[in-house]
């Protein structure tokens, strides 16, 4: 079966194996594809490195759209652990909710979660941008090094624990801040970045309603008192 046929007829996981579906997506250099009956399959649409568009009509399992580069992937449902893990560029959008570790270690690109995200959203974030329409769970942005996390709802406990230089924007309440994470001033540059992220994510929210959090930079240097 040719790639053109699969593009026109859809990639149906009730008839094709996960390996066949991923191979068709990875082999394509352009075009738009629809994945039917995903049934919570794990590692779906992973390793894409071309500007293709992928529409997944249903729920996805672990590590959906992991290692994404250049592609635009939309999940019309929920996604499980590690969606867009280690993403390099492109865009991943989840219309529903996601489980823990969304966007883990992501270096670039934009991850949009229209619903809620569970624990450790944006863990070890390395430059990507994440916009969450709902709430995030505990220890989100844990050890986030660069990039941005926007939360239009509330944040759970230990937000930004051991954070480096990522920027966190939260509209709702924060249960507690993690080690070395503090509230910071919202300057014009931050309001501009936030407005741009909300617009690109398609979120109807006022940047004036958000507060910014980031590193207090107290964990950067060794302190002799900690040796005793």
- The pLDDT tens digits of the residues spanning 106-160 come to 999 999 999 999 999 999 999 999 999 999 999 999 999 999 999 999 999 999 9
- Whether the Cβ atoms of residue 56 and residue 71 lie closer than 8 Å to each other: no
Q: For position 76, which CATH number holds?
A: 2.160.20.60
Split into its structural domains, the chain has a count of 1
Could you list the residue range(s) of the whole structural domain that residue 123 is in? 3-227
Enter the pTM of the model: 0.93
Contact partners, residue 199, CB within 8 Å, separation at least 6: none
Q: Torsions phi, psi of 11, nearest 5? A: -100, 100
């Amino acid at each position: 079966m040719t790639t053109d046929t699969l593009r026109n007829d859809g990639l149906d996981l009730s008839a094709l194996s996960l390996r066949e579906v991923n191979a068709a997506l990875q082999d394509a250099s352009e075009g738009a594809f629809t994945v039917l009956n995903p049934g919570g399959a794990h590692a779906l649409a992973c390793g894409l490195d071309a500007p293709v568009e992928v529409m997944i009509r249903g729920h996805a399992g672990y590590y959906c759209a992991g290692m994404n580069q250049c592609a635009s992937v939309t999940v019309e449902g929920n996604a499980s652990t590690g969606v867009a893990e280690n993403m390099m560029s492109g865009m991943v959008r989840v219309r529903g909710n996601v489980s823990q570790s969304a966007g883990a270690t992501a270096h670039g690109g934009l991850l949009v979660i229209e619903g809620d995200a569970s624990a450790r959203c944006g863990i070890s974030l390395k430059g990507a941008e994440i916009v969450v329409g709902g709430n995030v769970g505990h220890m989100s942005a844990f050890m986030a090094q660069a990039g941005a996390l926007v939360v239009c709802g509330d944040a759970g406990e230990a937000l930004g624990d051991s954070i480096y230089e990522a920027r966190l924007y939260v509209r709702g309440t924060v249960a507690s801040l993690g080690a070395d994470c503090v509230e910071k001033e919202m300057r014009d540059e931050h309001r501009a970045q936030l407005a741009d992220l909300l617009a690109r994510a398609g979120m109807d929210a006022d940047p004036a309603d958000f507060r910014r959090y980031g590193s207090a930079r107290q964990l950067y240097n060794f302190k002799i008192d900690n040796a005793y």
